[in-house]
Structure 1
Amino acid sequence: MQSHRIAFVIFEGFQSLDLVGPHEVFQQAGGYDCTIVAPAAGGVRAESGLPLHASNGVAGLPPSGFDTVVVVGGMGVYSARRDPRLTAWVTAAARTTRRVASVCSGAFLLAETGLLNGRRVTTHWARAGRLAREYPAVTVDPDPIFIRDGRIWSSAGVTAGMDLALALVEEDQGQQVALEVARQLVLFLRRPGNQSQFGVGLWSMQPTTDPVRDAVAAIHADPGARHDIADLAAHAGLSPRHLQRRFAAELGVPPGAYVERVRVEAAQRALENTGDPVDVIARRYGFGTAETLRRSFHRRLGVAPSDYRDRFRSTTGEHR
């Protein structure tokens, strides 16, 4: 088996899971030679206080000969990106490597080198606004869990780095190996990159008044029920126009968009945990037809329902 050399770039104050998660994916897959490089060899402390020994410093490690460079994130990245030794090493390594990746706020260090100029990238949703402001030449999309733009890969925070690593394994060794690694590491899913970082409760604000809470509770209690604005207004005890305004103000999304996202997530769970046909799931959760469900899945997740379900099947074809 061909060995792929991977350099993990860390620094004082790195996020330990940004390193350990992807590292474990590569080690489980086999065929990877992982090297950890820091600004200087020796002890490096994660932002959580976890100590780690870096065998290599940038001064003593030639930047050539790597297949992939992965820059991890962490609060220390804001200082690390100002270290000319570190940015010079990453820039030099990027000239010869096949691909370059960032996990979470590691995108800030890559952006500092100019490697992300003109690229579409993602990062942790809480850091996306700052990345876009400080590096206007970079197109920042805060929604996907990871993005590939040419040979540049980027991911959202912490556990999304494992999804990114699985995608790299899939590119190198095929889907079967990636799925086996996911099963061995008990990962919930080998998620497609376009899947949103946000689940219900993260992608919207929380309601602040009882009428809007009542409307939201009705949606979650039965996603497949009729939830047009008149029905929701009846649950809230408000006029449709008043609810429309209050709903958007309190949750940050209009009622129709909220209903669709809740229905999509209900359909996701059904696809994950049952063998019910797609058209049955579509009717159960208020989409009416399989085609309407398919359009909603493509809009929200970037995949078809059947492809989404396939990613939950074990290698024996059984549903998890």
Structure 2
Amino acid sequence: MSVAFIVFDGFQSMSLSALPVFEYANATAGEAVYETVVLSEHGGIVRSSMGLSVVTEPFDDQVFDTVIVGSGDSVIEAAPPGLLAFVRDHARTARRTASICSGAFVLAQAGLLDGRRATTHWNYAPALQARYPSIQVDADRIFVVDGSIWTSAGMTAGIDLALAMVENDLDADKARRVAQTLVVYHRRAGGQSQHSTLLELAPKSDRIQTALTYARRNLASPLSVEQLADAARLSPRQFSRAFRAETGQSPAKAIENLRLEAARIMLEDSRHTLDQIAGQTGFHDGRRMREAFLRVFGQPPQVFRRRAKYETGVS
């Protein structure tokens, strides 16, 4: 299967971070399943936004199985006509046409996203939606698959998109082994949120960070303030005061958000029952988990599971 990565002057070098996924898929499969090539309109050396230079081959009439458009601010307003023509023409013959991050603007300018669901980096999503109202922009997704068109969020989400392609082409076990080889901590399903609860909490001290790490590893436990304070080596009063000062949330609210995030990931990326997920994430039963989902997301857990099945049911 031939995979063409499309770059242009000023592309973001992280766009190419998905390349090793296909390299190690070959190694995992024990054969050359994928053949990759980096293309640009005129070929030759192309410089990234930070000065990294890559040698590319020029556009031609070769038919590719998969075409992946890289990211870069230079194509958000107006991509080069030659790039748009290439993407538009090859989308008719390729099995898959994809974009990474702001590469979605190239697909949109080429008319490939009209009437489709798509995503991009959360920071660019409002502009994409405003400029192309016919697109159903899902700003809180790692990647979205709509027919033959695949779009991904910010840079590292391209790795998740490529892993999903490998799973679709080969099987889930091989995709998991590729992720392990690349030391990907957690292979994210497409429906997973672009936002991380721990990143949003952003604790400033090691003690609060230690308490949150302890909580994330022990979500099935009650996780009282006393337990968290002990993990942070603070008194309960000191811990509660420091926690709110550093995160802007109470410990109880932060733990609920961690539980919701973990439950949402399990809903989207496992076959556990709702009660099993509730037990493993500290909600104890499906009813309490449902109440928390409705309160925070406005939707029950089953909606997230159905959406994930729809988005990853591409084989």
Work out whether 1:6 is the aligned partner of 2:3.
yes
CA distance in 2, matches of 1:258, 1:97: 45
Query: 2: distance between equivalents of 1:98 and 1:281?
Result: 36
Q: What is the identity, as a one-letter code, of the residue corresponding to 1:14?
A: F
SS in 2 for 1:76: helix
Kindly indicate whether residue 257 of structure 2 is the aligned counterpart of residue 261 of structure 1.
yes
The answer to whether the 8 Å contact 2:264/2:301 transfers is no
Aligned to 1:198: 195
Q: Which amino acid aligns with 2:284?
A: G
Return the offset for 1:77.
Answer: 2.1
Structure 1 counterpart of 2:94: 97
Query: How far apart are residue 270 of structure 1 and its match?
Result: 11
Name the residue aligned to 2:38: 36
Matched AA of 2:57: S
Name the structure 2 match of 1:65.
63
Post-superposition CA distance 1:243-272 (Å, at most 9, x none):
xxxxxxx99xxx99876433224668999x
- 1:210 aligns to what? none
Structure 1 gaps, min length 5 = 208-216, 228-234, 237-249, 272-276, 308-320
The 3 A distance-change label for structure 1 pair 279 and 302 is: closer
Q: Give the residue type in structure 1 aligned to 2:260.
A: V
User: Which aligned segments of 4 or more residues in structure 1 are displaced greater than 6 angstroms?
Assistant: 220-223, 255-259, 268-271
Aligned-pair Cα RMSD in Å: 4.0
Counterpart Cα distance in 1 of 2:266 and 2:143 = 24
Q: Which amino acid aligns with 1:39?
A: E
> What is the letter of the counterpart of residue 152 of structure 1?
I
Contact kept in structure 2, 1:18 and 1:157, CA below 8 Å: no
* Partner AA of 2:160 in structure 1: D
The gaps in structure 2 that reach 5 residues or longer are 27-32, 204-211, 226-239, 242-247, 268-272, 310-315
User: Equivalent residue for 2:312?
Assistant: none
Partner of 1:288: 284
Give me the whole-angstrom Cα distance separating, in 2, the residues matched to 1:32 and 1:10: 19
Answer yes or no: is the 8 Å Cα contact 2:143–2:153 preserved in 1: yes
CA spacing shift, 1:294–1:185, aligned 2, 3 Å:
farther
Work out the CA distance in 2 between the residues paired with 1:48 and 1:111: 25
Equivalent residue in structure 2 for 1:76, among 71, 74, 77: 74
How far did 1:65 drift?
Answer: 1.5
Q: State whether residues 226 and 286 of structure 1, in contact with CA within 8 Å, keep that contact through their aligned partners in structure 2.
A: no
CA distances 1:215-239 after superposition (whole Å, capped 9, x unpaired): xx9xx89985699xxxxxxx89xxx
Point out the more displaced range, 194-203 or 155-164: 194-203
Q: Percent identity?
A: 41
Distance 2:13 2:44 in 1: 16
Aligned residue for 1:162, secondary structure, equals helix
Kindly state the Cα deviation for residue 36 of structure 1 after the two structures are TM-superposed: 1.3
CA distance in 2, matches of 1:95, 1:270: 36
Contact 2:192–2:265 (8 Å) recurs in 1: no
Secondary structure of the 2:84 match is helix
1:155-188 per-residue CA deviation (whole Å, 9 max, x = no partner) reads 1111110000000011111111111111111111
Residues matched between the structures, number: 261
Q: Is the 8 A contact 1:261 1:300 kept in 2?
A: no
For the 8 Å contact 1:195–1:302, the answer to whether it is kept is no
Match of 2:21 in 1: 25
Q: Structure 1 residues 301, 14: closer, same or farther in 2, change over 3 A?
A: farther
**Alpha-carbon distance in structure 2 between the residues aligned to 1:135 and 1:257:** 37
The 8 Å contact of residues 167 and 178 in structure 1, kept in 2 or not, is answered as yes
Mapping for residues 291-306 of structure 1, pairs under 5 Å: 292-293=288-289, 296=293, 299=301, 302-303=304-305
Cα distance, 1:149 vs structure 2: 0.8
* Distance (Å, rounded) in 2 between the aligned partners of 1:28 and 1:174: 14
Distance across 2 between alignment mates of 1:280 and 1:137: 39
Cα gap change, 1:257/1:133 in structure 2, threshold over 3 Å: closer, same or farther? Answer: farther
Alignment of 1:122-201 (within 5 A): 122-200=119-197
Residues 184/139 of structure 1: CA separation in 2 closer, same or farther (3 Å cut): same
Q: Structure 1 residues 270 and 42, CA, compared in 2 at 3 Å: closer, same or farther?
A: closer
